[in-house]
Structure 1
Amino acid sequence: MRHLVYTSGSTLVEVLVALLLLAVGLLGGSAMQLSSLRARHESALLSTAMQLAASMAERMRANSTQMQALDADNPYLGLDYEAGPLDEAAGAPACLGNTTCSAAQLAQFDIAEWKQQLHKDLPGARLRICRDALAWDAAAQGLHWSCSGGSGAPIVIKLGWRGRQTRGRVAQESALPKIAMQLAAGAP
C-alpha cells in the first residue's frame, strides 16, 4: 500500500520566487511613481509658462501706444532673453508710484518684470517676442526660435526652458520653444 505524504509548508524555492515577484512589483511601482512625479513637474512648468505668456500678451495689449509704434521703436518686439544660472535681471524703471510713466518706460518696466519672473519660475528660461508668420515648423513638426518677421506677420511670444537634470545626463537645453502664443489677429 502506498502512503502519500503532504507537507503543509512552502519550500525555499517557492518563497524565493514569491520574494522575486514582490521585488519586481515594487520596482515597477516605484518607477511608475517617479515617472508620475516628472510628468507633474513638467506640467507645472508648462502651466506657469502659459500664465506668464498670457500675462505678457495682456500687458502688451494694455500698452497700446507702444504696440502701435513702428516695429523698430517697439521694445517688446525683438526681445530675445535667455536666463543664465547667475543672471540678475535689471531693475525696473523708477517711474512708477507717484509719477506717470511714458509708454516706452512702461514697456521697459514690463520687460524687466518678465525677466525676473522667468528667472524665478522657469529653469534656464528663454523668451522671444517677434513677428512670425509660421511659428510651427512643419518639417521638424515643432516650434522654432527663428522669426520670419514682416510688418503683416502676427506677434508671437515664444517660451522655452531646460528640462530637469537626470542622473548622469546634462539637462536638456531649451533648443526649441515649448510654447508659442500668438497675439490676436486684431492686435497691432
Structure 2
Amino acid sequence: MATSRQASTGFSLVEVLVSIVVLSIGLLGSIGMLLTAVRTGKEAATFAAAVNLARDLSEKVRMNPGVAARNDAANTYLVANWTAGSDAPVAAGGGCAAEACNPESLAAWDMSEWKRRVAKALPGARLSICFDDKPWNASAGEYEWACSEAGPNVVVKLGWVPHADAANSKHDGEPQRERPPRLVMQLVSG
C-alpha cells in the first residue's frame, strides 16, 4: 500500500524569529527618525526665537537712533560678550515702562528687558552687539565673536547651546565659549 506524505503547512519557529528581528530593526529605525525629528524641531523653534529676538532688538534700536549711532560708552545698546546669568536679575516692569525717560535711559531699559528675554528663550545664551564691518571669518568659514569696532554697521551676534549637535559638526565637545555665533544679524546700517 502506498503511503502519501502530507505536506506540512504553516511557519517554522526559525521563520517567525527572523521576521521578529526584521520587524524590530525597522521599529528601532523609525524611533530613531522620530527622535531626530523632535530634536530638529526644537532646534528650529529655538532658531526662530533667536531671529524674533534679533528682529525685536532691531526695531528698538531703530526707534532710538540718537543712542544707537554712537560708537562710544554712551551707547548702551552695545554689549560685549554677555552670557545668560552674568547680569543681576532684572525685574519686569518699572524703569521706562512706568515713567518718561531720556533716550539713554530708554536704551538701558530696553537692553535689560531684552537680555532677560534672551536668557529665558535661548539655552546657555551668549551675545555681542557691536560695530563690526566684517563679522564673517572667511579663512575659518564661520562667523566670529570678535568685533572690529569699526565701520557703520551695528550687528547682533547670538549663540546658544544647541539641542542636538550635527553628527559631522567640527565643534562637537567644545564648550559654548568656543562655538561661533549661531545667528548674526545687522541692526543698523551706516
Q: TM-score range by the shorter chain?
A: 0.7 to 0.9
SS in 2 for 1:44: helix
Paired position in structure 2 for 1:71 = 72
Displacement after TM superposition at 1:30 (Å):
0.1
Paired position in structure 1 for 2:97 = 96
Counterparts in 2 of 1:4 and 1:171: CA distance versus 1, 3 Å? farther
1:176 and 2:180 matched: yes
Displacement after TM superposition at 1:6 (Å):
2.1
* Contact kept in structure 1, 2:57 and 2:187, CA below 8 Å: no
SS in 1 for 2:189: coil
Paired position in structure 1 for 2:169 = none
* Contact kept in structure 1, 2:62 and 2:188, CA below 8 Å: no
SS in 2 for 1:81: strand
Q: Match of 1:183, as an amino acid?
A: L
- Relative to structure 2, which stretch is displaced further, 157-166 or 132-141? 157-166
Displacement after TM superposition at 1:130 (Å):
0.5
SS in 1 for 2:97: coil
Paired position in structure 2 for 1:161 = 160
* Contact kept in structure 2, 1:126 and 1:161, CA below 8 Å: yes
SS in 1 for 2:155: strand
Output the aligned Cα RMSD: 2.6
Q: Match of 1:38, as an amino acid?
A: R
* Contact kept in structure 1, 2:40 and 2:164, CA below 8 Å: no
Give the Cα–Cα distance (whole angstroms) in 1 for the partners of residues 60 and 17 of structure 2: 64
Q: Match of 1:157, as an amino acid?
A: V
Question: Which segments of 5 or more consecutive residues in structure 2 lack a partner in the other structure?
Answer: 166-171
Q: Match of 1:161, as an amino acid?
A: W
Paired position in structure 2 for 1:37 = 38
- Aligned length in residues: 181
Give me the TM-score of the superposition, normalised by structure 2. 0.84
Counterparts in 2 of 1:147 and 1:68: CA distance versus 1, 3 Å? closer
Give the Cα–Cα distance (whole angstroms) in 2 for the partners of residues 184 and 70 of structure 1: 12
Give the Cα–Cα distance (whole angstroms) in 2 for the partners of residues 70 and 28 of structure 1: 54
CA deviation vs aligned residue, 1:50-73 (integer Å, no higher than 9, x gap): 000010111011011212334332
* Contact kept in structure 1, 2:61 and 2:188, CA below 8 Å: no
CA deviation vs aligned residue, 1:67-99 (integer Å, no higher than 9, x gap): 233433211124431013x965334762432x3
- Relative to structure 2, which stretch is displaced further, 154-163 or 44-53? 154-163
Q: Match of 2:162, as an amino acid?
A: G
Select the structure with the greater relative contact order (CA < 8 A; seq sep ≥ 6): 2
Q: Match of 2:142, as an amino acid?
A: G
CA deviation vs aligned residue, 1:5-40 (integer Å, no higher than 9, x gap): 422110111001000000000000000000000100
Give me the TM-score of the superposition, normalised by structure 1. 0.85
- Relative to structure 2, which stretch is displaced further, 55-64 or 2-11? 2-11
- Correspondence 1:1-188 to 2 at 5 A: 5-84=6-85, 88-91=88-91, 94-97=95-98, 99-150=99-150, 152-164=151-163, 173=176, 175-186=179-190
SS in 1 for 2:95: coil
* Contact kept in structure 2, 1:82 and 1:125, CA below 8 Å: yes
* Contact kept in structure 1, 2:137 and 2:144, CA below 8 Å: yes
Displacement after TM superposition at 1:111 (Å):
0.8
